[in-house]
Structure 1
């Protein structure tokens, strides 16, 4: 019971930190304004770690490498701690274990990126119905447009309603529930076998 509570705490705190570091990375990558309260919230939560790391890892071609590196480090540390408290016998320094941990951390970043996209698309869809002039809409439009625009070129509105957000949400759910979940399990099984 104690192990489950510790796993829950590690996943909750680690997942939240990964999400805010990735949110900062994507907000800057898509050149969205940090003047919105959501942008200010992300900055306030991440400045303590990003600003010192940025002295060592400066932005590369406009991308906030410090935020992305911190998200990756947090994912790696979270999975190392989660594996350390499991009863599986394995050796962290084995080459196969290190590779598997790096792959799981990369998969975690991909998964959390999909969660962020899912939340942005869902938020945009809901706000377009109930509050289309909400100040959050331009920020969400900037984040979702690169993914919705190609779909809108192929799929016309049905009865005057844009169904591309729904299709994108279904695609994200499919990737998360089928491909990501199975791949994560397969990689973690290799970690346990490496020990």
Structure 2
């Protein structure tokens, strides 16, 4: 791989990774019913609105899920994979494989978002407990729907919350399953963002 190819690979990965995180984070925050007026939420809305607005005219929501955001994330992932495949000299992929790889990549990004969000919540609870920072409040709102079922399963330990351990274990199990599904779908390594 030449230097220009490596630089192009880095730039495509970075730009599309940031865009996919913004779109999927907006979707997850809507799903968690997080504060829409939080400055971080408003930033995500401003970044993704030019891309989501035209899609929303055509694609309605379904059962409270912003299907336009789902379609946008899958299309962005498909575009990134296609650009990377072409740049690396593989040519165009079969559209069915491209779609499967894109869905798996988006699921991988969602798992990564939750992994790092929960890790950040844990660290911030030690460093700055009870903080009213908008970013911290939004992280708590994002992770709470995932943490609550695990908190209900575990008995109370007097202020010690062990539910993140179960959540991390579940995320790692799902990541292993995702990687095996990616291998079964003959996904070329290094071209799908999120896996």
For normalisation by structure 2, the TM-score amounts to: 0.82
Equivalent residues in 2 for 1:16-27 (5 A)? 16-27=18-29
2:4 corresponds to 1:7: no
Moved more, 50-59 or 20-29: 50-59
Do the aligned residues in 2 keep the contact of 1:75 with 1:109 (CA within 8 Å)? yes
Do the aligned residues in 2 keep the contact of 1:156 with 1:162 (CA within 8 Å)? no
Distance 1:70 1:21 in 2: 8
Match in the other structure for 2:177: 179
Unaligned runs of 5+ in 2: 189-195
Equivalent residues in 2 for 1:24-63 (5 A)? 24-63=26-65
Match in the other structure for 2:193: none
Match in the other structure for 2:76: 74
Do the aligned residues in 2 keep the contact of 1:157 with 1:163 (CA within 8 Å)? no
CA offsets 1:70-107 (integer angstroms, 9 cap, x no match): 1111011111111222233x654xxxx22111110000
Unaligned runs of 5+ in 1: 191-195
Do the aligned residues in 1 keep the contact of 2:86 with 2:92 (CA within 8 Å)? no
Do the aligned residues in 2 keep the contact of 1:20 with 1:42 (CA within 8 Å)? yes
2:101 corresponds to 1:104: yes
Aligned residues: 184
For normalisation by structure 1, the TM-score amounts to: 0.82
Match in the other structure for 1:123: 120
Distance 1:144 1:4 in 2: 35
Do the aligned residues in 2 keep the contact of 1:54 with 1:66 (CA within 8 Å)? yes
Distance 1:46 1:6 in 2: 23
Distance 1:10 1:185, change over 3 A: farther
Distance 1:181 1:8 in 2: 22
Task: Give the root-mean-square deviation of aligned CA atoms.
Answer: 2.2
CA offsets 1:25-65 (integer angstroms, 9 cap, x no match): 11112211121121111112111211222222233343222
Moved more, 31-40 or 50-59: 50-59
